[in-house]
Amino acid sequence: MKKMALVQMRERQKGKVVEVHAGTGLQNRLLSLGVYPGKEIIKLSQFALRGPVAIKVGRTVLALGHGMASKIIVELE
Amino acid sequence: MIKKIFLIGNPNVGKSVIFSRLTGVRVIASNYPGTTIDITKGFLKIGANKIEVLDLPGTYSLDAQVKAEEAVISLLEDCSPKEAVVINIIDATNLERNLYLTLQLLEEGYPMIVCLNMCDDTKHRGITIDIKKLEEHLGVPVIPTCAVTGFGIKALIEKVEHAGRVAPKTLTHQERWVTIGKIVDDVQALSHRHHTLRELLEDISVRPLQGFFIAIGVIYASFRFVRFVAEGLIANVFDPLFLNLYQPLLEKLSVSLGQKGFWHHLLIGQLVNNQIDFKQSLGILTTAPYIEFAMVLPYIISFYFILGLLEDIGYLPRLAILLDNWLHRLGLHGYAIIPMLLGFGCNVPGILGTRMLESRRERFIAATLISIGVPCVPLQAMIFGLLGGYSGLYVASVYLVLFAVLLILGAILNKVMKGYSPELLIEIPPYRLPPVTLLAKKLYLRIKGFLLEAVPIVLLGVLVINLMMFFKIFDFATGIFSPIVSGLLGLPKEAAAALAIGFLRKEIAAGMLLPLGLSVKQLFIAVVLLALSFPCMATFVVLWKELGLRDFIRAIIIMLGISLAVGTLINLIIVS
């Protein structure tokens, strides 16, 4: 099993969140949107030049900034 | 006795549509998170009991992480649980995420009804939800609804007086998600089916390359559509009405007033070649209604039709992700594109919309940029009206200048202002096909708002102008500003009066500029100045209210500096 940050995943790859390296504020915001350790996600796309990342969590599509995405650690299946 | 109903739910689950259905109060609803930035109130009558209904901004949790959530929590805390019912609206197509807030609300022990909205949409997506089982798990009534068609609303109202509640408790975040997992596994069945065209379109619009081309296509098509419809309306509906039906009546009135004198001056204005010229006469009955109805209203209709369609389909948040990188350079993030787009209709909702941005710094930058560099529909109609007769290069140049100012000013503010701008974190809604009736209602609401706001001010403005011209007050006032206006900007001193009048509403200024017989260079400078300099009165007031006095004064100083600098620069660069 390989661990990496969300920004390092390739498009269309599936993974499981293992850790959110952030303060409680951001952790809670992500949590209420359904992104928390143990949750499966699919990376949809990433924009060039440290642009935002789009992911699918359950039935929700989220867009998050590059900084946030680099704080989310996932485990590939 | 129940006195209050709170409508609470995640952003973009249809709270505002439910609110309209319950109260009959019409509010603007769209398909993106954050349409409701204020708390809207209305009333629902059940028998003799008149209950206050509050439509609250969407919230993902009760953790008070963002402004909207704080507002919801403080409202709930202020209310006695005996008199209030919470209607928790959840999106049936996204049960799992929506239940997080539901559990938090249940833990607080509020009397509650769960409204399972968008039930019609579940079928297309292969989802079936066992309502009875969901009720058992939650311990409160669950009513399936489809707010846009009105399905289930009656059942919802009947249940208001029979809300359920469960004993308060406190779960940890982890426990909540575990509980939700169990509930969802038990009540929701997914049938496997092939990917639909809709899902494919949803998918590719958030990818960099394909998304970019889609965006270009959507924006280009919208622009063409707005012009095509507006110009068609003018040529085929409004111009014939004014010229063939209204003008003969006015000519008779003009003759009966003796074609001159005080009243003729006020009502009809100047005759051009012994006839009324709607664009130049500048009377209360001639130019004022012509500008509003035949020059601006057609663009209002076509612009808000397209905006409403894009809003309800759910396209706009996709622009946010595409433009995120670029807007970061202006000290904003991608979601700022939504208030900016609203600003293209009218700066007032645009500036109010900046509330959906998180930090004060972002709100200042966005509001300042909108009031300076984003031209509203009436202003754009005037850009076309004044310069459309010359080569298209002039119209394009006005937009280019405004766009350049927007980029440069944003980049400077981003460098100069302290602090940093937060990152993007938004939900991208699924595409939805809005019912035509809902689109029509929204368009009606916006057109009505425009007419109620604009017509009285334009009539008043033209009255004031005519009085001042009749009593020759302008000559004195314009003399004071002539060094700036003539010296730096190369405009005749009468143009100062027109620009100053633009403070009331931009379209009145155009009415004053037309009869001055300006050269095309002068017109170009005047139009650019009109766009950049003082926003209209309504925007002025909203800007003040939203920014507070200190930041407001800062924004005004920036605005004046830029207007003068850009106007002078153009005057020096273009040699006519």
Give the tens place of pLDDT for each residue, A56-71.
Answer: 998 899 999 999 999 9
Give the tens place of pLDDT for each residue, B453-477.
Answer: 889 988 988 898 888 888 877 777 6
Q: Which amino acid is at B524?
A: F
Q: CA-CA distance, B401 to A43, in Å (whole number)?
A: 39
Q: What average pLDDT does range B234-240 have in this prediction? A: 95
Smallest CA–CA separation between A43 and chain B, in Å?
A: 11
Question: What is the ipTM score, two decimals?
Answer: 0.94
Instruction: For chain B, give the mean pLDDT.
Output: 88
What pLDDT is stored for residue A77 in this prediction? Answer: 76
Q: Are B90 and B116 in contact (CB under 8 A)?
A: yes
Which of A7, A16, A30, A32 to mutate against chain B (most B CBs within 10 Å)?
A: A32
Q: What average pLDDT does range B387-398 have in this prediction? A: 88
> H or E segment at B268?
none
Q: What average pLDDT does range B395-420 have in this prediction? A: 93
Is the pTM for the entire model greater than 0.90?
Answer: no
Give the tens place of pLDDT for each residue, B26-67.
Answer: 777 777 777 776 788 889 988 888 999 998 888 888 886 666
What pLDDT is stored for residue B74 in this prediction? Answer: 80
B327 token code pair = 């807007």
Q: What average pLDDT does range A40-68 have in this prediction? A: 92
B554 token code pair = 């800062």
Q: What strand order describes the sheet that includes B4-9?
A: B40-46, B49-55, B4-9, B84-91, B112-117, B142-144
Report yes or no: B26 at the A interface, CB cutoff 8 Å. no
Q: What average pLDDT does range B550-562 have in this prediction? A: 94
Q: Are B514 and B467 in contact (CB under 8 A)?
A: no
Q: What chain B residue is nearest to A62 in terms of C-alpha separation?
A: B427
DSSP class per residue in chain A: --EEEGGGSPTT-EEEEEEE-S-HHHHHHHHHTT--TT-EEEEEEE-TTT--EEEEETTEEEEE-HHHHHHEEEEE-
CB distance B208–A68 less than 8 Å? no
Nearest Cα to B554, choosing from B538, B542, B543?
Answer: B543
For residue B235, give Cα distances in angstroms to B192, B242, B244, B295, B525.
52, 11, 12, 10, 28
Structure confidence at residue B576 as a pLDDT band (50, 70, 90): low
Report yes or no: B83 at the A interface, CB cutoff 8 Å. no
Give the tens place of pLDDT for each residue, B267-306.
Answer: 998 888 888 989 888 899 999 999 999 999 999 999 999 9
